[in-house]
């Protein structure tokens, strides 16, 4: 049957919204506010696929509904536009990254506008705009002034092919996850941010946030708070340590097992390794260190629990501070230089990892907590201490207290708290990132630039690769690098590293508040009004990086009195991913769905006959299983796509893409259209009336839809809300007459989901203003009541019939009606009634014998 013409209606209303500034943020500050924010995208050259808009459409429904509910809504979009992918694309195309970024942004923006998303585009921003990163540099200066930014020689993941440092999360199995290029470990001077100073604050702040518990737990694990002791082991004197005794600081959460220590392990990168290794072991140690240098810390962490253990003895020994025992010092890849002190003492009897290591290398295993066969496996439960001198007989808790007291009394250790979280490596050897507002003077000292010198803009380059001698791309701009101290005029050189992509995304939610303000990063009064973000929606993959870094920066800004809230994002919601079948051959090559077919029960490539396997995977351009939203909008209309994105299932669940589902939501919208518009005349539908109609089923469906949608706006459970709207549309379609007033109420709750159709129907129903400006309808609880209900009737647990009874039926009347039903009565004849069960509103079960 005929429906609406989305090819005319969609662009018409998008143009109207744009020309009339429908979604411009109100300057009114007396209303309650609602700040709804999407995690802004990185604008890649590939554009959007239908998996991307799922969260954007959800927040759009909330934003539109909240406006109608009387809230002042901040709804904005921008671009996380710095980053290595654009730089690589610039190298391939021989074009400036800024030009590529502008092209990609234009493509993304066009696609988002085609979806009818209600962004205030006057507040659009991009992290690569100098007027934006001027303030990113300003925040860095604040971090530097507070002692939270510093330089250090640290082990990094160096990718020779790209000439840059990579984060641990970008490296797997010794290779860059994006390109497969080999990665090696190097010591380099890097900018670091002292996020560890905020570890406890970041941990405690999670308690008051309305975030998914899984995300909070991931952050807690990433921060990794551990209570224990720091213990000092002296290195035993030897011919290779002529300078006197070295000391090893070890952190442990089990100081009570110190009497069971049979060896000490250092991280291969530990600064003492070079000094304490004996001549006999030096070659083996150096070879092992070179091998470990090829692996990222992430890989080493993931492998730490595996059965196979590797390591090399240094030839040196340490002295156990509680009993004076000499224990060998080893190096092993499961100990990381950046976690704790980069050294551990091993008690293989009561640590599974140490136990495997000890058995692999034939090291002693000494039981110190009774309760298991420690010769066969580590015992990690509680029990009385044994072989532990003054700890014997104590349980773990008591033994911990006693040993910490001993260590502190004898000045060889102390109780302490450690965190797995490490300081944030903040340097990148790239061009397309924020320059540091730092200069180096002739004497080698560094100096921050004054705020008046900001922004430190990126210079124009002809080539974006690192220099031939391995320096960052910015080193090519010698005239830019060579500068002077603005205070003294003395010669100076600029920093040639740039900030990581995370920098700009750490604070963009604040710049959206005052994006065109030139005198400050944000207006303090506006910040006090809008913050915190009320609803933040994005992927769960950002749990431990972007979200943690943003919280860190925000807490620093809070301590400096620059923001009014201790946390940036009050409520967080993670939308589920959209999956679609992909086709891959045995070599790992992917193929488009249209290029494969089934032959004799096997999927093969049409042209070559190569066998492929079908699997359901996350929608991704690299897997050749994407669907372009432009195609869906062109064929079915933006509103049908929007509805399907939210109708597939709960918003936080993963879903399988089926294009037929978009056709289904389009049929629903066409039914709604025909309730108001005659498809033959394009005039009002014949059943549309201004008269009162007595149709309790339709009225009940209307109020049920209003209630469910209203609740869905708060809970983000949109699939069930759409189902209730479909119920109303079905009831109205069956009805002989539909009151105009009822249809107007329905259009108001439909409009946030299907805004183009909503605006057109609102106009067709006689309104000259936008449906966005209409009040949100209220439902009447009394109208939701039903006169009768259907009860299932079972005899001995088997369904034998159904009965219609009054909604408020008593148990006695329900049982009587069930027994009187003809279909049921024949199963009762001649039987003795054993039990009568009534489940209110659902069923009657009669047990007979």
Q: What is the tens place of the pLDDT at every residue in 655-665?
A: 999 999 999 99
Instruction: Report the distance separating Cα 22 and Cα 710, nearest Å.
Output: 22
| Cis preceding-peptide flag for 298 (omega within 30 of 0) | no
Instruction: Report the distance separating Cα 762 and Cα 673, nearest Å.
Output: 11
Give me the helices (H) in 716-792, please: 718-734, 740-750, 755-764
Predicted confidence (pLDDT) at residue 791 exceeds the cutoff of 80: yes
Q: What's the number of CA atoms in the CB half-sphere (13 Å) around residue 766?
A: 8
Q: Which residues contact residue 34 at a Cβ distance below 8 angstroms, ignoring those fewer than 6 apart?
A: 63, 66, 71, 72, 73, 74, 534, 535
- Hey, CA dihedral for 357, 360, 365, 370, is it positive or negative? positive
Predicted confidence (pLDDT) at residue 682 exceeds the cutoff of 80: yes
Instruction: For residue 118, report the phi and psi dihedrals to the nearest 5 degrees.
Output: -90, 50
Instruction: For residue 372, report the phi and psi dihedrals to the nearest 5 degrees.
Output: -155, 170
Predicted confidence (pLDDT) at residue 235 exceeds the cutoff of 80: yes
| Per-residue tokens: 295 | 């692996």
pLDDT of residue 808: 84
Q: Taking a C-beta distance cutoff of 8 angstroms, is the pair 34, 71 a contact?
A: yes
Q: Tens digits of per-residue pLDDT, 105-121?
A: 999 999 999 999 999 99
Q: Which residues contact residue 810 at a Cβ distance below 8 angstroms, ignoring those fewer than 6 apart?
A: none
pLDDT of residue 304: 58
- What is the average pLDDT across 244-273? 93
List the single range of 76-85, 158-167, 236-245 with lowest mean pLDDT: 236-245
pLDDT of residue 242: 53
Residue 627, Cβ neighbours under 10 Å: how many?
18
Predicted confidence (pLDDT) at residue 139 exceeds the cutoff of 80: yes
Q: Tens digits of per-residue pLDDT, 534-551?
A: 999 999 888 788 999 999
Instruction: Report the distance separating Cα 175 and Cα 173, nearest Å.
Output: 6
Give the relative orientation of helices 84-93 and 97-114 as an angle to the nearest 10 degrees: 110
DSSP secondary structure letter of residue 92: H
Q: Tens digits of per-residue pLDDT, 386-436?
A: 999 999 999 999 999 999 999 999 999 999 998 989 899 999 989 999 999
Predicted confidence (pLDDT) at residue 178 exceeds the cutoff of 90: no
Predicted confidence (pLDDT) at residue 627 exceeds the cutoff of 80: yes
DSSP secondary structure letter of residue 562: S
Q: Taking a C-beta distance cutoff of 8 angstroms, is the pair 267, 342 a contact?
A: yes
pLDDT of residue 241: 59
Instruction: Report the distance separating Cα 97 and Cα 433, nearest Å.
Output: 10
pLDDT of residue 84: 84
| Per-residue tokens: 788 | 């009768």
User: Which residues partner with 571 through β-bridges?
Assistant: 210
Instruction: Report the distance separating Cα 493 and Cα 480, nearest Å.
Output: 8
Instruction: Report the distance separating Cα 730 and Cα 237, nearest Å.
Output: 88
Instruction: Report the distance separating Cα 40 and Cα 507, nearest Å.
Output: 12
Q: Tens digits of per-residue pLDDT, 557-609?
A: 999 999 999 999 999 999 999 999 999 999 889 999 999 999 988 999 999 99
Q: Taking a C-beta distance cutoff of 8 angstroms, is the pair 436, 429 a contact?
A: no
SS (H, E, C) 667-678: HHHHHHHHHHEC
Instruction: Report the distance separating Cα 721 and Cα 706, nearest Å.
Output: 9
Nearest CA among 420, 425, 51, 423 for reference residue 218: 420
Q: Tens digits of per-residue pLDDT, 745-760?
A: 999 999 999 999 999 9
Mean pLDDT, the chain, whole residue set: 93
pLDDT band at 1 (very low <50, low <70, confident <90, very high): low
Which own/partner pairs from 708-713 qualify as long-range (CB within 8 Å, at least 24 positions apart)? 709/65, 709/749, 710/65, 710/749, 710/776, 710/779, 713/61, 713/62, 713/65, 713/66, 713/69, 713/752
pLDDT of residue 240: 60
Instruction: Report the distance separating Cα 43 and Cα 54, nearest Å.
Output: 17
> Residue 492, SS3?
strand
pLDDT of residue 195: 96
- Hey, CA dihedral for 315, 316, 319, 320, is it positive or negative? negative
pLDDT of residue 849: 87
pLDDT of residue 466: 85
Q: Taking a C-beta distance cutoff of 8 angstroms, is the pair 496, 459 a contact?
A: no
Q: Tens digits of per-residue pLDDT, 442-496?
A: 999 999 999 999 999 999 998 888 888 878 999 999 999 999 999 999 999 999 9
pLDDT of residue 239: 66
Predicted confidence (pLDDT) at residue 244 exceeds the cutoff of 80: no
Instruction: Report the distance separating Cα 313 and Cα 284, nearest Å.
Output: 8
Q: Taking a C-beta distance cutoff of 8 angstroms, is the pair 316, 278 a contact?
A: yes
Instruction: Report the distance separating Cα 803 and Cα 487, nearest Å.
Output: 91
Q: Taking a C-beta distance cutoff of 8 angstroms, is the pair 655, 633 a contact?
A: no
> Residue 244, SS3?
coil
Q: 230: buried, middle or exposed (CB in 10 Å: 19+, 13-18, 0-12)?
A: buried
Place of tokens 């092919």: 161
pLDDT of residue 169: 64
What percent of the chain is predicted at pLDDT more than 70?
Answer: 98
What percent of the chain is predicted at pLDDT more than 90?
Answer: 82
pLDDT band at 236 (very low <50, low <70, confident <90, very high): very high
- What is the average pLDDT across 725-738? 96
DSSP 174-227: TEETTT--B-EEEEEEEEEE-GGGGHHHHHHHGGG-B--HHHHHHHHHHH-EEE
The strand pair at 602-605 and 596-599 is best described as antiparallel
In Å, how far are 20, 115, 117, 685, 771 from 17, measured between CA atoms?
5, 13, 10, 27, 11
Task: Give the neighbor-by-neighbor strand order of the sheet with 184-193.
Answer: 164-166, 149-159, 184-193, 424-425
pLDDT of residue 163: 76
Q: Which helix (H) or strand (E) holds 72?
A: strand 72-76
Task: Give the neighbor-by-neighbor strand order of the sheet with 798-806.
Answer: 798-806, 788-795, 843-848, 833-839
- What is the average pLDDT across 273-302? 87
Give the relative orientation of helices 6-20 and 97-114 as an angle to the nearest 10 degrees: 120
In Å, how far are 88, 113, 557, 844 from 810, measured between CA atoms?
74, 56, 63, 12
- Hey, CA dihedral for 651, 655, 657, 660, is it positive or negative? negative
- What is the average pLDDT across 310-324? 96
CA of residue 408 relative to chain centroid, distance: 43
pLDDT of residue 715: 97
Whole-model pTM?
0.86
| Nearest 10 degrees: Cα torsion 688, 689, 690, 695 | -100
């Amino acid at each position: 049957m005929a429906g609406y013409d989305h090819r005319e209606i969609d662009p018409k209303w998008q143009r109207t919204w744009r020309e009339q500034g429908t979604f411009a943020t109100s300057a009114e500050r007396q209303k309650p506010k609602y700040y709804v924010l999407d995690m802004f995208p990185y604008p890649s050259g590939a554009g959007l696929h239908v998996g991307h808009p799922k969260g954007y459409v959800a927040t759009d429904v909330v934003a539109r509904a909240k406006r109608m509910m009387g809230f002042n809504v901040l709804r904005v979009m921008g671009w996380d536009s710095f980053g290595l992918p654009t730089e690589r694309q610039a190298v391939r195309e021989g074009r400036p990254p800024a030009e590529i970024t502008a092209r990609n942004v234009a493509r993304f923006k066009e696609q988002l506008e085609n979806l009818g998303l209600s962004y205030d585009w006057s507040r659009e921003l991009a992290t690569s705009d100098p007027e934006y990163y001027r303030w990113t540099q300003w925040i860095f200066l604040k971090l530097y002034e507070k002692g939270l930014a510093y330089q250090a020689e640290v082990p990094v993941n160096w990718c020779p092919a790209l000439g840059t440092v990579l984060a641990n999360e970008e490296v797997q199995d010794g290779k860059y996850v994006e390109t497969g290029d080999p990665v090696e470990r190097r010591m380099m001077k890097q900018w670091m941010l002292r996020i560890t100073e905020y570890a406890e604050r970041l941990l405690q702040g999670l308690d008051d946030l309305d975030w998914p518990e899984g995300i909070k737990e991931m952050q807690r694990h990433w921060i990794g708070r551990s209570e224990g002791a720091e213990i000092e082991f002296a290195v035993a004197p030897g011919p290779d340590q002529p300078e006197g005794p070295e000391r090893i600081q070890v952190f442990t959460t089990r100081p009570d097992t110190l009497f069971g220590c049979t060896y000490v392990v250092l991280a291969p990168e530990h600064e003492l390794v070079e000094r304490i290794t004996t001549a006999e072991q030096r070659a083996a140690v150096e070879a092992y260190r070179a091998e470990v240098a090829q692996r990222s810390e992430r890989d080493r962490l993931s492998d730490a629990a595996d059965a196979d253990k590797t390591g090399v003895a240094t030839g040196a020994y340490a002295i156990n501070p509680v009993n004076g025992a000499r224990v060998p010092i080893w190096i092993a890849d499961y100990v990381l230089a950046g976690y704790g002190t980069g050294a551990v003492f091993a008690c293989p009897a009561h640590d599974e990892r140490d136990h495997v290591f000890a058995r692999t290398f034939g090291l002693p295993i000494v039981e110190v907590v009774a309760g298991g066969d420690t010769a066969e496996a580590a015992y990690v439960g509680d029990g009385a201490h044994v072989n532990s001198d003054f700890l014997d007989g104590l349980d773990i808790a008591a033994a911990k207290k006693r040993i910490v007291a001993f260590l502190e009394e004898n000045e060889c250790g102390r109780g302490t708290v450690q965190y797995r979280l490490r300081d944030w490596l903040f340097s990148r050897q790239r061009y397309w990132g924020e320059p540091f507002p730092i200069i180096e003077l002739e004497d080698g000292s560094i100096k921050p630039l004054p705020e008046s010198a900001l922004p430190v803009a990126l210079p124009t380059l002809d080539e974006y690769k690192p220099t031939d001698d391995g320096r960052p791309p910015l080193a090519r701009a010698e005239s830019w690098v060579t500068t002077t101290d603005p205070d003294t005029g003395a010669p100076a050189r600029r920093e040639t590293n740039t900030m990581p992509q995370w920098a700009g995304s750490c604070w963009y939610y604040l710049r959206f508040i005052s994006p065109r303000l030139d005198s400050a990063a944000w207006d303090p009064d506006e910040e006090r009004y809008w913050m915190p973000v009320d609803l933040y929606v994005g992927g769960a993959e950002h749990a431990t990086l972007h979200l943690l870094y943003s919280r860190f920066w925000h807490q620093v800004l809070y301590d400096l009195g620059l923001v009014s809230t201790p946390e940036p994002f009050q409520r967080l919601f993670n939308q589920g991913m959209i999956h679609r079948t992909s086709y891959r051959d045995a070599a790992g090559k992917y193929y488009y769905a249209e290029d494969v077919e089934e032959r004799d029960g096997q999927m093969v490539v049409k042209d070559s006959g190569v066998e492929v396997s079908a699997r359901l995977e996350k929608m991704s351009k690299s897997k050749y299983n994407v669907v372009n939203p432009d195609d869906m909008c062109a064929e079915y209309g933006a509103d049908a796509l929007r509805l399907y994105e939210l109708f597939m299932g709960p918003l936080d669940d993963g879903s399988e893409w089926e294009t037929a589902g978009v056709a289904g939501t389009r049929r629903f919208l066409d039914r709604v259209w025909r309730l108001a518009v005659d498809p033959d005349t394009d005039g009002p539908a014949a059943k549309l009336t201004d008269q009162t109609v007595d149709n309790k089923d339709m009225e009940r469906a209307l109020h049920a839809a209003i209630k469910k949608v209203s609740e869905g706006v708060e809970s983000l459970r949109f699939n069930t809300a759409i189902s209730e709207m479909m119920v109303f549309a079905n009831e109205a379609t069956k009805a002989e007459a539909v009151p105009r007033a009822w249809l107007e109420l329905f259009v108001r709750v439909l409009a946030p989901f299907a805004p183009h159709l909503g605006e057109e129907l609102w106009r067709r129903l006689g309104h000259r203003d936008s449906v966005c400006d209409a009040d949100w309808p209220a439902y009447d609880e009394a109208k939701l009541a039903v006169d009768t209900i259907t009860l299932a009737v079972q005899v001995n647990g088997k369904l034998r019939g159904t009965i219609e009874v009054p909604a408020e039926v008593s148990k006695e009347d329900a049982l009587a009606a069930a027994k009187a039903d003809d279909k049921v009565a024949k199963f009762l004849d001649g039987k003795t009634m054993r039990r009568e069960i009534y489940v209110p509103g659902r069923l009657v079960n009669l047990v007979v014998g």
